[in-house]
Amino acid sequence: MTRFGKAILGLCIFGSAFLALVNASADTHKECQSSACVDVQGAGINQCSTNAHCDTECSVNGVGTGGLGSGSKCGECTGGACAGEDVGADCELNPASFGGSFSGGIKGKCEAQDFCSNADPGGKNYEGACGMQCLCKVKSKKAAEVEQAVWCENCGS
Amino acid sequence: MKELAGCVSICRAFLSLRVAYSVSALIILSFVSLPAALADTHWVCQSFSCVQVQGSGPNQCYTDSDCNTECSVNGVGTGNIYAGDKCGECTSGACAGKELGDECTVTIGMMSTGSIGAHSGTASITAMKKGKCGSSSSCSFGDPGNKNYAGACGMHCACDVAPDNLAQVCLGEPACEELIGS
């Protein structure tokens, strides 16, 4: 390899390491831990931005609900398939509106979109520890196809 | 020998001309056909993914989330997920619960005012027309009813009674019952 080639290779390695370092430091998110909002390493959805989102009674439109939502729970603002579930829990969606290709519910996982106090779902004003705004997301295309194939095998019997 | 060299050079020139012509033709063809090909595609939900398909049609999605995520209205989950070709959460009226292209029936007149001798009054007449459920956008990219739809909410449909959509009119109850039932 020529001297020029070595220089280019060195520059690439140094650049990649620098970018990886920058990305790693950027990959943090906030979570409620022991009633405080703390920075956690790794990518993820923020559960809070201040301690009040972890340690203060959830209120909707200024009225206290008497509840203290956990950062890992689908909270006060979650309706539908994930109401009352944990973030990452299994959920089932109504198959009736899907054209009848599924016999049981369409299975998915509860994914957090944002925390209720930040999102304003339903045009309501959530404050305090109201938990997460979750929606049910269907498994990957491949997993869904496998599930459908298994179901079709059972269809005939 | 000189003649042979001349022949070879003429053949080369002819070949290079042909190549140049073919390349130019290809470039021109791609300029003409590429925009047409690009224009005649649309996005549909298939197996919970948003994919581009050939042909014109209303877009059902732009990202996979429009096909694989619970339909939410104003940020709150509905517990429903709609197939891309279903008239969805934001569709009410004649096409609610139907698929794109399904037949639908709309009421086009209900009341008639008239008089017989000294008596005048209003009589109700049922008049209906048959059409097909059409759509130009999905619920998530409309804003029907000033609501914010997101995720797999299906299509925003309305009953289209254009003449080429098998438009049929009925007047009066027996005829309309027959039309709806048919």
Instruction: Closest CB to A138: pick one of B48, B80, B88.
Output: B48
Q: Give the model's pLDDT for residue A23.
A: 53
Query: How many residue pairs bridge chain A and chain B with CB atoms within 8 Å of each other?
Result: 91
Instruction: Closest CB to A121: pick one of B74, B151, B154.
Output: B74
Q: Residue B158 pairs with which residues in a beta bridge?
A: B134
A74 neighbors A82 (Cβ within 8 angstroms): yes
Tell if the CB–CB gap between B99 and A123 is shorter than 8 Å.
no
Between positions 104 and 123 of A, the ones with CB within 8 A of B are 106, 108, 111, 113, 119-123
Sketch the domain layout of chain B as residue ranges. Answer: 1-39, 40-181
Higher pLDDT pick, A144 / B81: B81
Cβ–Cβ contact A60 with B under 8 A: no
Higher pLDDT pick, B18 / A109: A109
- A11-20, A55-64, A96-105: range with lowest mean pLDDT: A11-20
Q: Give the model's pLDDT for residue B143.
A: 79
A56 to A53, A62, B49, B148, B172: CA distances (angstroms): 6, 13, 40, 29, 64
Cβ–Cβ contact A89 with B under 8 A: no
Q: Choose the most confident range, by mean pLDDT, from A22-31, A45-54, B9-18, B133-142.
A: A45-54
CA atoms within 13 A on the CB side of B15: 6
What's at B79, amino acid-wise?
G
Tell if the CB–CB gap between A83 and B47 is shorter than 8 Å.
no
Report chain B (182 residues): mean pLDDT per 10 consecutive residues.
Answer: 50 50 50 57 93 93 94 94 93 93 82 66 72 92 85 94 66 66 57
Higher pLDDT pick, B46 / A12: B46
Strand runs labelled E in chain B: 41-46, 49-54, 72-73, 76-77, 103-116, 119-138, 149-150, 155-160, 169-171
- A82-86, A98-102, B110-114: range with lowest mean pLDDT: B110-114
How far, in Å, CA of B157 to CA of B139, rounded? 9
Q: Give the model's pLDDT for residue B7.
A: 45
Tell if the CB–CB gap between B81 and A91 is shorter than 8 Å.
no
Q: Assign A67 a pLDDT band (cuts: 50, 70, 90).
A: very high
How far, in Å, CA of B104 to CA of B172, rounded? 18
Residue A124 has pLDDT above 50, yes or no: yes
Cβ–Cβ contact B85 with A under 8 A: yes
Encoding tokens for residue B70?
């619970």
Higher pLDDT pick, A111 / A96: A111
Q: Give the model's pLDDT for residue B19.
A: 45
| Per-residue pLDDT tens over the stretch A71-80 | 899 999 999 9
Tell if the CB–CB gap between B80 and A78 is shorter than 8 Å.
no
Q: Residue A132 pairs with which residues in a beta bridge?
A: A74, A115
Q: Give the model's pLDDT for residue B112.
A: 61
Tell if the CB–CB gap between A99 and B99 is shorter than 8 Å.
yes
